[in-house]
Chain A
Amino acid sequence: MMIKGYEVVVGLEVHAELNTKTKIYCSCRNSFGLEVNTQVCPICLGMPGTLPTLNEKVVEYAIKMGHALNCKINRICKQDRKNYFYPDLPKSYQISQADIPLCADGYLDVIMDGGEVKRIGVERIHIEEDAGKLLHSDKFDGSLVDFNRCGVPLIEIVSRPDMRGSDEAKAYLETIRSILKYIDISDCKMQEGSIRCDVNVSVHKPGEPFGTRCEMKNVNSFSAAVRGIDYEANRQIEILEAGGTVTQETRRWDDQKGVSVSMRTKEDAQDYRYFPEPDLLTIVVPQEKVDELKRTLPELPNAKIMRYVRDYGLSHYDAAMIVDVVEKSAFFEKCIEAGCKSPKLLSNWILGEISKFMNEGTAIEDTKLTPKKMAELVGLIDSGKISTAAGKTVFDIIVKEDADIQKIIEEKGLAQVSDDSALEAIADEVLKANEKSVSDYLGGKTNALGYLVGQCMKASKGRANPGRMKEIILSKING
């Protein structure tokens, strides 16, 4: 993406909260939205004398992500202390990883809207603990701290500056989110802050070296990332066009106002005084474990999209739409397993009627819909046994109750009429009543045919096989 002759260079640091049962260094529950300061213990509160012990699941989850992003796994690595003062950080240091991250030197292929593949380098993935949250109340003069989030496990995924503009950044973020969901290591709820990102942006003219970068913090949604990158790129270009120079600094993105504001320049950058965490041992993951985690990795979203396109003939767009939601894709595959022979028609139903109720907050598993019934329904429609309209009637029933499809069709008289003599009788009646349309058609107005077919369908109360109906009408008009 070029803006006013400048190339925009983006690098991203994504923080994802892992969905382990317990926190990273103590046995407190790792859950969101509970009453303040109830999911805490002396350890995550950093009380004097307490010690951390590493939750090994965190290491496993991070290695899974490392494999998914084609990283080299540093199966021997350490944890370090990042020292800084802030009231939401009870030990006044965050246990993180400095020079030796658990995973390094990977890449992610993202598929852009046009279908072309862009490879983005992943510098590192490391594990660390989350901090608490500051709260403010009208009833209290000062700040309050909720420590529930202290010690929630995080992975930080640092990309290389390989994205050229906000569109690639968005595709990267969406792919990362999708992978996190498929390997089931994060809930990926933006509104709960379970994925957050810092954005690095610079601009330069093609052929010239990279420009000075600015880091933007407080980017709390993917759409904010897009807006922030575009804003920041334009801000830098304006400075350069006016003959100025961009200052290396950390900026805060204010999504409400749509502007970034300076937080601190390079000169007052914090010195975190990293050093190896003496309370924890070197992490040593056996090679067999690393290999096993790779072997048991599920099919990743990009591979799934390609497979849907290749094996089931879906369009890239439809495949991506289904794969975007784990539940939809799982249902799609279960229907295929249950014998559905028309994946394209199935995908239409999933992206249509099923997505409709899912968007309203109803999960498939909360309904009576089963893959077996969905496969049967799609089969009946595809073979012309019932019409699409009748299919919708059946669908609405099998979503709500555990009913037999054949019985519904019989009881409601939904079976499609494909018997020629019955269809011819309908056609004769309709053609007689619509002589004007017939002559229009014969005079070259081909739309009239659709109208006639529609009238026949209406007369049959939707039960006529529309394809056969059209053939019969044509043969009668053309006589």
Chain B
Amino acid sequence: MKLYEYSAYELSEMLRAKKISSRELTESVLDRVDEVDGKVSAYLYTDREMSLKAADEADRLIASGKAASRLAGIPIGIKDNISTKGIPTTCASKMLENYVPVFNATVMDKLAAAGCVISGKLNMDEFAMGSSTENSYFKTTRNPFDTDCVPGGSSGGSAAAVACGEAVVALGSDTGGSIRQPASLCGVVGLKPTYGSVSRYGLVAFASSLDQIGVFGRCVRDAALLQDEIQGSDPMDATSARRSYNSLYDGLCGDISGLKIGIPSEYFGLGIKPEVSEAVMKSVKELENRGAKVTKISLPSTEYALSAYYIIACAEASSNLARFDGVKYGYRAKDCDGLIDMYEKTRSEGFGREVKRRIMLGTFVLSSGYFDAYYKKAKLLQKRIQQEFDDAFKSVDVIITPTSPSEAFRIGERVSDPLAMYAADICTVTVNIAGLPAVSVPCGYSASGLPYGMQIIGRKFDEQTILNAAFAHENAFGGFAKPKI
């Protein structure tokens, strides 16, 4: 077995026992990138010299015995909407093609302090808008299980890289399912933590009230390890929760006897492929066999969630992306006739179609005369959805649903049908609207070997319970398949 194939928690022990060095591990991962990224296209940026320098530092840190973090020396892939000082951060947009940040996101400072190695920056849908990574200005990432299929999105690069060993673990961001859906499509574990548990400082904003940085791993333990490293309150982010956090990795426990699982009928209905529902319910049955109690619940407002989500997300996006105006950094159109012309040309040429569509939608719903009919109503709906979850969590500990209505779809299949693309988020957006934590874990495979994902949703700041359920599932399932690439 090559080093890149190991899990982070195994590598962590090997590094600490000095059986391997971070340099060897990092070289193995970067060699793997050289080997398969021509087919997968997960990375937008790698710098072997930079990564190996960090690896050598990590080796010194480990040798000195001062490495406090279990992730010291582990190569981590970073979604390209997370600000990395001195390293291009493009958000997969022409607009930021040549943008190199002067500051680190809080999560990057944390990873640096932990002695982690950055393996590179990962592809995504432009500004995290999309569910297939086809909206990247630079390239389309491919699903390692079938390179004719999408990896999901928007964190498609992160999911694909972790799935095929191009990164041991990776950071992504999730606004409406952008971690969980690609995790599902690429057969890996993806955790979207509670809103406020990971600092957003340095995450290039799509929809501020929904965005959350989260993690990818090939197993539940790895996801827990990385989440341990990045969670915590941050004075630079006013929306970060002021509270203390326990180690999720240390708290992992596969015993789920007495765990109360809720199954909301609304998430198993129209639009969800029967095979997906069956795979999820089969896994739920396994959990029941191991002592969990399963009850049917109802979350009646679910059918409105997608509309509410796209209104709130687009409204915030239209404002967040207004700063890309050609004045200060990033792309500026040539040959402009005055200020207004510069704005118009810069933004017309610098943004891709999906981004422009959402900016226009958001601008519309915030316009005078429409604000009450759209934005205000969507916010009311958000309150109702939150309330329904709160009520449900009075009687259950976790809620289990499919992550995505189907397995990975083919590249190009939905690009001309934005509504079909938006429907890919139907199971995941409610979690962002309610600010809850949720994890997607593989729970089966299609006839052609494409993974299905199961979503486990928990109470606010109760990542431990959903990871424990995921861990129990992983043990019952007997580990997750790796793509043959």
Contact = CB atoms under 8 A, between A and B. Distances in A.
A271 interface: yes
B323 A49 contact: no
Contact of A85 (B99, B202, B236, B343): B343
Interface in B237-278: 237-239
Contact of A48 (B99, B208, B235, B327): B99
A273 B319 contact: yes
A382 B205 CA distance: 72
Interface string B99-110: 101110100000
A50 B367 CA distance: 25
Contact of A87 (B99, B208, B339): B339
B397 interface: no
Contact of B91 (A46, A48, A51, A281): A48
B101 A279 contact: no
A278 B319 CA distance: 11
B485 to A, nearest CB: 32
Contact of B322 (A49, A53, A91): A91
Interface string A286-323: 00000000000000000000000000000000000000
Contact of B363 (A46, A273, A281): A273
A275 B81 CA distance: 24
B329 interface: yes
Given A49-B204, A92-B323, A280-B238, A42 B102 contact: yes
A221 interface: no
Contacts of B103: 42, 47, 50
Interface string A8-50: 0000000000000000000000000000000000100111111
Nearest to A147: B328
A83 B319 contact: yes
Contact of B323 (A46, A271, A280): A46
B119 interface: no
A93 interface: yes
B96 interface: yes
B105 to A, nearest CB: 6
A315 B298 CA distance: 78
A49 B366 contact: no
Contact of B209 (A45, A85, A278): A278
B416 interface: no
Interface in B81-121: 81-83, 89, 91, 96, 99, 101-103, 105
Interface in B410-446: none
Contacts, number: 101
Given A92-B325, A145-B327, A271-B368, A52 B238 contact: yes
B315 interface: yes
Nearest to A41: B103
Interface in B38-65: none
Contact of B237 (A51, A145, A274): A51
B222 interface: no
Contact of B375 (A81, A275, A281): A275
A120 B182 CA distance: 61
A399 interface: no
Contacts of B368: 271, 273
Interface residues of A, number: 28
Interface in B190-204: 200-204
B105 A49 contact: yes
Contacts of A42: 101-103
Contacts of A50: 103, 201-202
A83 B236 contact: no
Contacts of B315: 275
Interface string B346-387: 000000000000000001001110010001000000000000
B463 interface: no
A83 B237 contact: no
Given A52-B238, A53-B235, A53-B236, A90 B328 contact: yes
Contacts of B339: 87
Nearest to A272: B368
Contacts of A85: 322, 325, 343
Contact of A281 (B200, B239, B327): B239
A54 interface: yes
Contacts of B89: 48-49
Given A48-B89, A48-B91, A273-B363, A93 B319 contact: yes
Given A87-B339, A92-B323, A47 B329 contact: yes
A54 B239 CA distance: 11
Contacts of B208: 278-279
Contacts of A54: 238
B83 A49 contact: yes
Contacts of A51: 200-201, 236-239
Contact of B205 (A49, A87, A90): A49
A52 B208 CA distance: 12
B316 interface: yes
Interface string A86-97: 010011110000
Nearest to B83: A49
Interface in A229-273: 271, 273
A53 B238 contact: yes
Contacts of B322: 83, 85, 91-93
A85 B367 CA distance: 15
15 contacts: A42-B102, A45-B328, A46-B328, A47-B101, A47-B103, A49-B200, A49-B203, A51-B236, A87-B327, A87-B339, A90-B328, A275-B371, A278-B316, A279-B238, A281-B239
Given A90-B327, A275-B375, 10 more contacts: A48-B101, A49-B105, A85-B322, A87-B339, A271-B368, A273-B319, A273-B368, A275-B319, A278-B239, A281-B239
3 nearest A-B pairs in the assembled complex, by CB-CB distance: A92-B322, A273-B366, A278-B208
